[in-house]
């Protein structure tokens, strides 16, 4: 007989019992996080044994808040956003029981960082045009190719990798999805210097990299479907993250307005009010989106959230520089650092303005997201695709 999933009261009781037996001040942080995962209090909507209890997803914020009040250590989501926001739901949806058991726990605890080997120099917005080849060799695959714009590849232990396994079929078929060991022979990570002066992302070269078939996610040739799961979750992770009222970038600029009255002008006041209202509307839309996710996998709504996030981040960071004038043009560090996380709120206004330019590219360009919204949300006619039924090998390169 199946057991009903725990409700809010039952989860509260379980958190209290867990904290009574696991003092955050006395335990090693990693030991605490492992125990929390094993108790099903990591991501409560996941199945039992995989960090969850099969509870409604909407109850997660209350669980997180209870642990935060107790002074419990966090799992540094800012450092492993790709793992938590993209790899975990993909492994849950497409992985085998063995893959889920092997990868989800150290992913959630932050022991293993993840990156995403999707885009290529000739296949950025059009992911299905990718050419990195994987060839079967017994119980393994030999992979050769190049990936680019790979955030945190220099920190990652594992990567989500999409390859071309059959060039004789149209591009959306013949793709296969793998988990790639970033420490394997033949994996080379090179930094890419960004407009901020830093190198938080990279290009990755794969030369005769051997990947066991046991690290394949989904069926051979089913990589596009698995990739879509990753991309939909990616857009929700970027654009639909939970933030408090006046959190994120709008909070930074609102505090500047309150703390620096000498910067105020009527025109800037009107601009701030408009962006504040838009940011609050986007935040509330994100709340509704996360509630809808409790009923299933993310859909095209995540594209709208990510599109709004990118535009708002760029406009708000631009307003901050406009308020500060010459002072805002200073950037605190032009050295090619290799950051372990992307942090908007604790950096300089110059950094925020420059880094926000990437928001309309990463996680799907704004142009592609508008196409998704037009076709899948508004039901408008799709663009003409002359390559839809053409074998990948016959496409212009």
Of 189, 192, 206, nearest in space to 132 by CA: 206
Angle between helices 223-239 and 301-324 (to 10 degrees): 40
Tokens of 14: 């379980």
Query: Could you identify the residue written with the tokens 């945190």?
Result: 152
CB 237 within 8 A of CB 178: no
The total of other beta-carbon atoms located within 10 Å of residue 325's CB is: 9
Pair type for strands 140-151 and 175-181: unpaired
Instruction: Provide CB contacts within 8 A for 102, sequence distance 6+.
Output: none
CB 178 within 8 A of CB 133: no
CB burial of residue 169 (10 Å; 0-12, 13-18, 19+)? middle
Kind plus residue range of the DSSP H or E element containing 37 = helix 29-38
Catalytic residue selected from 155, 198, 200, 234: 234
CA 300 to chain centre: 15
**In the chain, what is the greatest distance between 2 CA atoms, to the nearest angstrom?**
70
CB burial of residue 306 (10 Å; 0-12, 13-18, 19+)? buried
CA-based radius of gyration for the chain: 22
CB 154 within 8 A of CB 338: yes
* 234 part of the active site: yes
Residues constituting the chain: 397
CB 312 within 8 A of CB 319: no
CB 351 within 8 A of CB 332: yes
CB 264 within 8 A of CB 257: yes
Which residues are marked as active site?
Answer: 234
């Amino acid at each position: 007989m199946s057991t009903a999933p725990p409700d809010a009261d039952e989860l509260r009781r379980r958190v209290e019992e867990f904290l009574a037996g696991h003092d955050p001040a006395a335990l090693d942080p990693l030991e605490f996080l492992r125990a929390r995962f094993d108790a099903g209090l990591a991501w409560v909507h996941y199945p039992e044994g995989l960090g969850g209890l099969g509870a409604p997803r909407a109850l997660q914020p209350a669980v997180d808040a209870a642990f935060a009040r107790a002074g419990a250590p966090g799992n540094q989501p800012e450092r492993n956003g790709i793992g938590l926001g993209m790899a975990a739901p993909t492994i849950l949806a497409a992985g085998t029981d063995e893959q889920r058991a092997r990868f989800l726990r150290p992913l959630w605890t932050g022991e293993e960082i993840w990156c995403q080997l999707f885009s290529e120099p000739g296949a950025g917005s059009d992911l299905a045009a990718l050419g990195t080849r994987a060839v079967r060799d017994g119980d393994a695959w030999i992979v050769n190719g190049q990936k680019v714009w790979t955030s945190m590849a220099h920190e990652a232990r594992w990567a989500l990798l999409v390859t071309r396994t059959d060039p004789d079929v149209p591009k959306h078929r013949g793709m296969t999805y793998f988990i790639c060991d970033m420490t394997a022979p033949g994996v080379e990570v090179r930094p890419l210097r960004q407009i901020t002066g830093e190198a938080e992302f990279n290009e990755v070269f794969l030369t005769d990299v051997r990947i066991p078939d046991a690290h394949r996610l989904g069926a051979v040739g089913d990589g596009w479907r698995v990739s879509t799961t990753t991309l939909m979750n990616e857009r929700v992770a970027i654009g639909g993250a939970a933030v408090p009222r006046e959190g994120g970038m709008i909070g930074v600029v609102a505090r500047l307005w309150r703390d620096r009255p000498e910067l105020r002008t009527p025109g800037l006041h009107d601009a701030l009010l408009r962006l504040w209202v838009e940011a609050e509307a986007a935040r509330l839309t994100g709340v509704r989106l996360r509630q809808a996710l409790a009923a299933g996998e993310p859909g095209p709504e995540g594209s709208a959230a990510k599109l709004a996030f990118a535009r708002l981040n760029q406009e708000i960071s631009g307003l901050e520089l406009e308020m500060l004038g010459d002072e805002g043009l200073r950037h605190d560090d032009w050295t090619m650092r290799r950051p372990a996380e992307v942090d908007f709120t604790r950096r300089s206004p110059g950094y925020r303005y420059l880094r926000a330019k990437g928001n309309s590219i990463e996680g799907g360009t704004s142009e592609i997201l508008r196409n998704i919204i037009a076709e899948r949300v508004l039901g408008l006619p799709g663009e003409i695709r002359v390559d839809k039924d053409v074998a990948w090998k016959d496409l212009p390169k």
